[in-house]
Structure 1
Amino acid sequence: METTSQAGTDEVSDKADKPERRGTVEPSRPVDGYLRATFPWYGLDAAYTGPRSLMQAVAAADGTVQHGAVRHGSEPMIRPENTAVSPAGSEGGDDGAEDRERFAVVVTVAASPARTSGDGTGQLDATTASSAAWLAGSGLLSCTWPGQLDHTLRDDWLSQQTETAFELADDLESPEWSSLSLPVDGVPTLFRYRESEYGWVLAGSTDGVHLGAYGRGMSAYGLGFARIEDLRAYEG
C-alpha cells in the first residue's frame, strides 16, 4: 500500500504504508480534476441504468491526480434512523430511506511504481489493489453510523473501524476476504470481496489502474465495470 507524505492540508500519516486518503481536492467544476488524470476512470457498466454522479478527484501536492470515485445511486444517509441494512440486498424501513441506502461507489486508483513524493520530502510506495481496498473500506465507513451509537461515540467507533479496515486491506489474502469474478470491460476479472453489517467492499486490478468499490443495498455479485468514455454522464 502507498506511503504518504504531506499533500495539500493533510498531515503525514503515522502509518508508513497508508495510501493518501484525501490530498488536494480539485477546485472549480468537479469534472475538472477527473479530466486532468492521466489514467482511465471506471464505473459500473451499461447494465446499470440508474443515476450516476461524480464524487471527487484527489491530487498530490504537485497536482498529479492519484485517485477518485464515482457514485451510482443516491447519496447515502450518514445516519440511517429507521433502516435495517442488508449489505448485499434488501433493506427494511420507509421507501425514502431504502432509496438512499441503495448505492455503489467505484474507486479508481492510478497504478504507480515506488517513487519520490511530489514535494521531494518522502518516498511513496507502489500502489496496489490494497490501496483501492483501503480507500473503498474507509469510504464505506464514512457514510456509516450504527444506530446504537450517539454522536459522542461515533468518532471513537470510526477511528477503531478505520484502523481495522486498513489492516484488512493490507492483507487481501486473509480469510476475511473471498474471491469474486466480475467483468471489467467485458473481461472476467478477479476481485477480493468481503461483507459486513455495514455493506460490502471489493478490490482488484485491471490495465493501468486498481479498482475498489463499496456499497449497500445493491448486490455486488451482479455488478460489472467499464471504462468511462464520457464523464458528462456523471455530471448529473
Structure 2
Amino acid sequence: MASQGKLKAADPARIWSIDIIVSEGFVLTEMSAVVEVLRIANRVLAQPPFKWTMRSLQGGRVGCKAGLSVDTEAFVVKPTADFAFFLGNSDPDDPGLSLGRVISSYTCRGSKVYLLAEAAARYIRDQGGASGRLTTHWENSALLRERMGLNDSSHALASEDGLVVTCAGMGSTVDIVLALVGRLTSAAAQMTVANIMLHEQVRDFSSLQPFAGAKPTITGDSDLDHCIRIMQDNIEEPVPISEIVDELGISTRSLERKF
C-alpha cells in the first residue's frame, strides 16, 4: 500500500463535521494532533470525509501558552457537528473549562464528545467525582486526589462512557483521532495516516498512560504484554513456549487464544 496514494473512504458520500473547542491557554499539542490527523486523512482519501470548525465561548481569536492563536466561531445553541473535541488547557483552573451545558448541548443531539486532559478533569470534578469509566491525564488525576480526595479515575489513555469520551490528551490525542479515522473510514486509511505521521503504533484506549508508577501496556492484555517482552528480550536465543507459559502462570492454550 503506497502511503502517498489515494484511498477510498468507507462511505464516500458522507462528510463528518467536527467542532474543536478551545479556551484561552489551550494546549497546542492537542489542537495540532486533532487538526493534522484529520487534514492528512483528507489528503490520502479519495473523497475528503472531514471538515472542522474552531469554536470558543465568545468566538474571536483565542491564544495558547506557546504564543500562537486561532480564529474561532462562537458556540451555537443547537450544534450540528457529529463530533466535538474539547481541548485541554495550560491552566487546569481556567473557568473556561467548565462547559457542562455546552457538552450537554452536543450529547443531547447525539454528538460524540471527546474531553482531553484538563477538559476531562474539569468534567470529572464538575460531576462530583470519577469512576472507572472516566480518565484524564495522570497529572490531573494527582491534582484531583490532592484537592478533592478523588482517586478512582482510570489511568487508561481514553475511556468511553456513552457519548462522552474522557482522554489523557497530550501526545495520546494522535491515537484517539487515528482511532476515530479508522472507525469512520477504514483500517487502511488509519494505517496510511499513521505511517505518514511516523506514528509507529496506534495505541488502544485501554493502554495505560506511560508515567512513573504505571506499567505501560502494548496490547491491553498484561499476560500478552509480558509474553511479548520476553520474546523481545530473547530475540537471538528464543525462549521455548513451555518456559514462557511457566513464567506467565497460564496454559499454552490460553496463550494461543490471546494471539
Same fold by TM-score greater than 0.5: no
Structure with greater helix share of residues: 2
Quick one: higher RCO (CA 8 Å, sep 6+), 1 or 2? Answer: 1
TM-score, scaled relative to structure 2 = 0.28
Larger C-alpha radius of gyration, 1 or 2? 2
TM-score, scaled relative to structure 1 = 0.30
